[in-house]
């Protein structure tokens, strides 16, 4: 069952076997065995459930909404009590059957994020610091690449608007070929509506960082490169970055790009950026609502009454 309180599949690293109770055996004196109790396994929203057998994996469910559930294995039915085997000549039979063991399935769980905004950027640009500054998320922050190894989620509240941010970790050159951790997570970017492209203002060539990463996204899938992007240069609190602002502004504006200059560490410039992101998410939502096909509703025709 999908539960909005969960954000990752980490629990399943520890525990991989789940067993609901079997059906009990049927008994004497008309007793049927009890059915096995249900076992409910909670997973985060966006979990895709695949059933795996020797040769293939088949999608069983895409648990996108809170409370959405799927039965992956039917529990054992209780055994039949002796009364079930009664015949006219044998009123109190001694036969009863065992409870059934229940189905056994091998599942593959795959979490596809459902975030409104994906934070992309090279390692160490400050994605986790940004996420920590604007939400209650607490991803690890450190001065080395690949600190974040799993996508981290945070919820942002701007006035009445709420949206979900996801840090997409491990993107480097060649990510689309499987380098770094990026390949594993690029597919998560597919489900986001807007990208926040974070750049390190102290990097040698900030504009080229942006272009290279965008190329990487495009190589994975052209649709990723076409996603709405908001570009922000981070680490503005550093004086060396401050000093470069006029030059950077010029470089970006010659590309026709609006850029935000922020500091995730001091929160400088963040509120304006969050407002703009909220507007972009809003716009994307409206566009999505417009193209989404209305659900097909089946209305059976009333049966005409037979004429007398
Ligand atoms: N001066 C300054 N340092 C920052 C800022 N934001 C992040 N940092 C530092 O940059 C380093 C990397 O920050 P993270 O937030 O871990 O970067 P990340 O992009 O999440 O890195 P990975 O998860 O490894 O890809 C840390 O040492 C942070 O303290 C900022 O606005 N100003
Ligand atoms: Mg990080």
Burial class of residue 43, CB neighbours in 10 A (0-12, 13-18, 19+): buried
Beta bridge partners of 158: 161
Please write down the HEC assignment for all residues of 45-104: CCEEEEEECCCCEEEEEEECCCCCCCCCCCCCCCCCCHHHHCECCECCCCCCCCCCCCCC
**What confidence tier does 171 reach under pLDDT thresholds 50, 70, 90?**
confident
Give dist(CA 29, CA 13) in Å, integer. Answer: 46
Q: Rounded to the nearest whole angstrom, what is the distance from the C-alpha of residue 102 to the centroid of ligand 1?
A: 50
Reported as a single tens digit per residue, the pLDDT across 196-217 is: 999 999 999 999 999 999 998 8
Q: Are 8 and 70 within 8 A, CB to CB?
A: no
Q: Rounded to the nearest whole angstrom, what is the distance from the C-alpha of residue 108 to the centroid of ligand 1?
A: 33
Q: Rounded to the nearest whole angstrom, what is the distance from the C-alpha of residue 269 to the centroid of ligand 1?
A: 16
Average model confidence (pLDDT) across the chain = 84
Give dist(CA 109, CA 184) in Å, integer. Answer: 14
Q: Which ligand is nearest to the CA of 264?
A: 1
Q: What is the pLDDT of residue 175?
A: 79
Q: Rounded to the nearest whole angstrom, what is the distance from the C-alpha of residue 41 to the centroid of ligand 1?
A: 36
Q: How far is CA 87 from CA 79, 83, 84, 93, in A?
A: 18, 9, 9, 8
Q: What is the pLDDT of residue 106?
A: 93
**What confidence tier does 26 reach under pLDDT thresholds 50, 70, 90?**
low
Give dist(CA 176, CA 169) in Å, integer. Answer: 13
The residue whose C-alpha atom lies closest to atom 14 belonging to ligand 1 is 126
Q: Are 190 and 159 within 8 A, CB to CB?
A: no
Reported as a single tens digit per residue, the pLDDT across 48-95 is: 899 998 888 899 998 888 899 999 988 767 777 777 777 888 777 777
Mutate to test the pocket of ligand 1, among 119, 125, 126, 179 (most ligand atoms within 8 A of CB): 126
Q: For residue 298, is pLDDT > 60?
A: no
Q: Rounded to the nearest whole angstrom, what is the distance from the C-alpha of residue 60 to the centroid of ligand 1?
A: 39
The residue whose C-alpha atom lies closest to atom 13 belonging to ligand 1 is 126
Mutate to test the pocket of ligand 1, among 124, 168, 242 (most ligand atoms within 8 A of CB): 124
Q: Rounded to the nearest whole angstrom, what is the distance from the C-alpha of residue 140 to the centroid of ligand 2?
A: 6
Q: What is the pLDDT of residue 304?
A: 61
Q: For residue 115, is pLDDT > 90?
A: no
Burial class of residue 302, CB neighbours in 10 A (0-12, 13-18, 19+): exposed
**What confidence tier does 185 reach under pLDDT thresholds 50, 70, 90?**
confident
Which residue has better confidence, 132 or 4? 132
Give dist(CA 134, CA 128) in Å, integer. Answer: 10
Give dist(CA 207, CA 229) in Å, integer. Answer: 14
Please write down the HEC assignment for all residues of 195-217: EEEEEECCCCCHHHHHHHHHHHH
Q: Which ligand is nearest to the CA of 132?
A: 1
Ligand 1 site, residue 127, Cβ cutoff 6 A = yes
Ligand 1 site, residue 141, Cβ cutoff 6 A = yes
**Sign for the pseudo-dihedral over CA of 101, 102, 103, 104:** negative
Which residue has better confidence, 54 or 280? 280
Most confident of 187-191, 204-208, 284-288, 292-296: 204-208
Beta bridge partners of 199: 233
Most confident of 43-47, 266-270, 284-288, 302-306: 266-270
Q: For residue 249, is pLDDT > 90?
A: yes
Per-residue pLDDT, averaged over 27-51, amounts to: 80
Q: How many CA atoms lie within 13 A of 145 on its CB side?
A: 10
Ligand 1 site, residue 132, Cβ cutoff 6 A = no
Percent of the chain with pLDDT over 90: 42
Ligand 1 site, residue 176, Cβ cutoff 6 A = no
Residues whose CB is less than 8 angstroms from the CB of residue 1 and which lie 6 or more positions away in sequence, other chains included: 40, 41, 42, 43, 63, 67, 68, 69
Q: For residue 9, is pLDDT > 90?
A: no
- What stretch of H or E contains 299? none
């Amino acid at each position: 069952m999908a539960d909005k309180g969960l954000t990752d599949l980490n629990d399943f690293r520890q525990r991989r076997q789940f067993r609901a109770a079997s059906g009990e055996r049927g008994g004497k004196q008309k007793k049927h065995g009890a059915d096995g109790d249900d076992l409910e396994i909670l997973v985060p929203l966006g979990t895709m459930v695949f059933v795996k057998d020797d040769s293939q994996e088949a999608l069983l469910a895409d648990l996108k909404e809170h409370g959405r559930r799927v039965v992956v294995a039917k529990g054992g039915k209780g055994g039949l009590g002796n009364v079930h085997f009664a015949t006219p000549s044998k009123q109190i039979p001694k036969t009863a059957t065992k409870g059934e063991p229940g189905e056994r399935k091998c599942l593959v769980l795959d979490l596809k994020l459902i975030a409104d905004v994906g934070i992309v950027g090279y390692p160490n640009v400050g994605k986790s610091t940004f996420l920590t500054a604007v939400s209650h998320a607490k991803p690890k922050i450190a001065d080395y690449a690949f600190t974040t190894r799993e996508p981290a989620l945070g919820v942002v509240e701007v006035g009445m608007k709420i949206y979900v941010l996801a840090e997409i970790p491990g993107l480097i050159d060649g990510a689309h070929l499987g380098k770094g951790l990026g390949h594993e997570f690029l597919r998560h970017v597919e489900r986001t509506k807007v990208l926040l492209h974070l750049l390190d203002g102290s990097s040698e060539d900030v504009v080229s960082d942006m272009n290279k990463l965008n190329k990487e996204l495009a190589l994975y899938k052209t649709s990723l490169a076409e996603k709405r992007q908001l570009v922000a240069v981070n680490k503005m609190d550093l004086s060396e970055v401050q000093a470069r602002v006029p030059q950077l502004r010029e470089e970006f504006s010659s590309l026709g790009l609006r850029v935000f200059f922020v500091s995730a560490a001091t929160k400088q410039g963040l509120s304006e950026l969050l407002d703009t992101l909220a507007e972009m998410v809003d716009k994307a939502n409206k566009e999505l609502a417009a193209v989404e096909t209305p659900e097909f509703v089946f209305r059976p025709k009333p049966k005409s009454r037979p004429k007398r």
